Amino acid sequence: MPTSFSRREWIRKSALGLAGAACAQRVTATLASETPLASPISPKDPAWSQIQQAFVVDRDVVALNHAGAGCAPRVVLDAVDRYVREAERMPSWNLFQYGPKEPIRASLAGMFGCGSEEIAIVRNATEALDTVLLGLPLQPGDEVLTTTLDYWAMLDALDQREKRDGIVVRKVRMPVPANSEGQLFEAFAEAVTERTKLILVSHPVNLTGQHFPVARICKMAHARGIEVLVDAAQSFGQYEITAELLQCDYLGASLHKWLMGPKGTGMLYVKRDKIKKIWPLFPSGNAMKPDNIRKFELKGTAPMTEYALTEAISFHQAIGTALIGERLKFLTRSWADPLRAHDRFEFRTSFAPGMSNAIATFHLRGTNSAELWERLFHKEKFFTFNVARRTQEFQGIRVSVGLSTTEAEIDRFVTTMLRLAKELPVGG
Ligand SMILES: Cc1ncc(COP(=O)(O)O)c(C=O)c1O
């Protein structure tokens, strides 16, 4: 297993699925030095069509729900297969080694700009976030502040804690779409009370792709002695976020979404001096010291598939977070702008600078989003997400593109939606 990411190593592995000599040459030329990637290809460059071929996605239905689960490139799938096979050669030894995990921890810490001893590699964002939501010592009457737009599983964890431990969970209803980040900040600032101990905030919200001003919220919270847990399931790998930029105390992220890692991988960041007080989900008192971040990783026997994060990080870093973010934004605007120009489409997402990126949600006025989702999937062959499954506040279809998405797929989606806007009766 490589101990650190190397661009040359990645290029050597170009057989990984970046088919095509043109792309290989371009990538080789731009990555031949070990210098940081200086945006070698624009978000519109035809070289993206080669990168799309690194993925083995079905093309008969267009995948427009990358926020649900990202597509891992072939190099990651091959690595998963290899690690599973390697483990089976001596499972009772291989499965319980920590060594191979450490370079991955260091790479993730490098990406997030924190210490390696502040990163735990867990199975998903839910596990990461639940570790803090269920493991932070709280007294009956203590308040946790969040929004009604936060991810359902996190809200369920808080509801359970309310019933079990007598804490108070306050879910603020936010404007959709928000006019400004200031409006979102004010909603949090006004809802804080003397009993608030923790704020859970998404960056961004899964239902609409709306960004929240996390750093501002953290500053306000810290001034009042309140800690902040960031749900970065939808941002890590899509934006350049760091511990310094966000200023949060805790953060949970999926690594199988925008980092395009193997399924069943997530990351927990806990600020060094807070590790000790958080109870792990799986007690590990005799195996790990309370201030060791690895106490959050003990879970019993599990497959070694997480080691394929090495290949995912290499793939991701070879393109670079900034360029990935730009490409996703370009694809998003390519479908959203033509719909925004049509008066039957209403958007739940703000497109003001910095307010959203690869996720956007629209409503086709006069339709029911469950029915529209069915139609899009079964008849028109687009797989999207009906947000009304998870909120009663509004109807909408969430569209989230990925690196495997092609321009032709986006064009077909736009043509289909404009046709449906003519065809589907209002109220029918
Ligand atoms: C905002 C948000 N938080 C948490 C999760 C859960 O992520 P995971 O499936 O990695 O547990 C999701 C999944 O879509 C999400 O969108």
Atom from ligand 1 closest to the CA of residue 253: 10
Residue 337 Cα to ligand 1 middle (Å) = 27
Q: Omega into 177 within 30° of 0, i.e. cis?
A: yes
The pTM of this model reads 0.90
Spell out which residues line ligand 1, taking CB within 6 angstroms: 68, 124-126, 151, 202, 206, 231, 233-234, 254, 266
What's the average model confidence in pLDDT over 18-41? 39
Task: Report the pLDDT value the prediction gives residue 5, as an integer from 0 to 100.
Answer: 31
Task: Report the pLDDT value the prediction gives residue 126, as an integer from 0 to 100.
Answer: 98
How many Cα atoms occupy the beta-carbon half-sphere of 306 within 13 Å? 27
How many Cα atoms occupy the beta-carbon half-sphere of 159 within 13 Å? 10
Residue 126 Cα to ligand 1 middle (Å) = 6
Q: Which of 206, 207, 265, 361 to mutate to test the pocket of ligand 1 (most atoms within 8 A of CB)?
A: 206
Q: What is the pLDDT of residues 285-341, one digit of tens each?
A: 788 899 999 999 998 998 889 999 999 999 999 999 999 999 999 999 999 999 999
Q: Name the residue with the closest Cα to ligand 1, atom 14.
A: 68
Which residues are 252's β-sheet partners?
Answer: 231, 268
Residue 262 Cα to ligand 1 middle (Å) = 15
Q: Which of 65, 123, 126 to mutate to test the pocket of ligand 1 (most atoms within 8 A of CB)?
A: 126
427 exposure class (CB count in 10 Å sphere: 0-12, 13-18, 19+):
exposed
For 330, residues 6+ apart whose C-beta sits below 8 A from its C-beta are 43, 44
Task: Read off the pLDDT band of 428 (50, 70, 90).
Answer: low
> 323 with 30: CB under 8 angstroms?
no
More confident residue, 142 or 42: 142
Task: Report the pLDDT value the prediction gives residue 3, as an integer from 0 to 100.
Answer: 31
Q: Omega into 204 within 30° of 0, i.e. cis?
A: yes
Q: Name the residue with the closest Cα to ligand 1, atom 1.
A: 206
How many Cα atoms occupy the beta-carbon half-sphere of 242 within 13 Å? 11
Q: What is the pLDDT of residues 131-141, one digit of tens each?
A: 999 999 999 99
Atom from ligand 1 closest to the CA of residue 67: 14
For 371, residues 6+ apart whose C-beta sits below 8 A from its C-beta are none
Residue 253 Cα to ligand 1 middle (Å) = 8
User: From residue 260, how far is each of 202, 238, 311, 402 by CA, in Å?
Assistant: 20, 10, 10, 9
What's the average model confidence in pLDDT over 184-196? 98
User: CA 83 to CA 86: how far, in whole Å?
Assistant: 5
Domains of the chain: 91-312 (3.40.640.10)
Q: What is the pLDDT of residues 100-152, one digit of tens each?
A: 799 999 999 999 999 999 999 999 999 999 999 999 999 999 999 999 999 99
User: CA 44 to CA 38: how far, in whole Å?
Assistant: 16
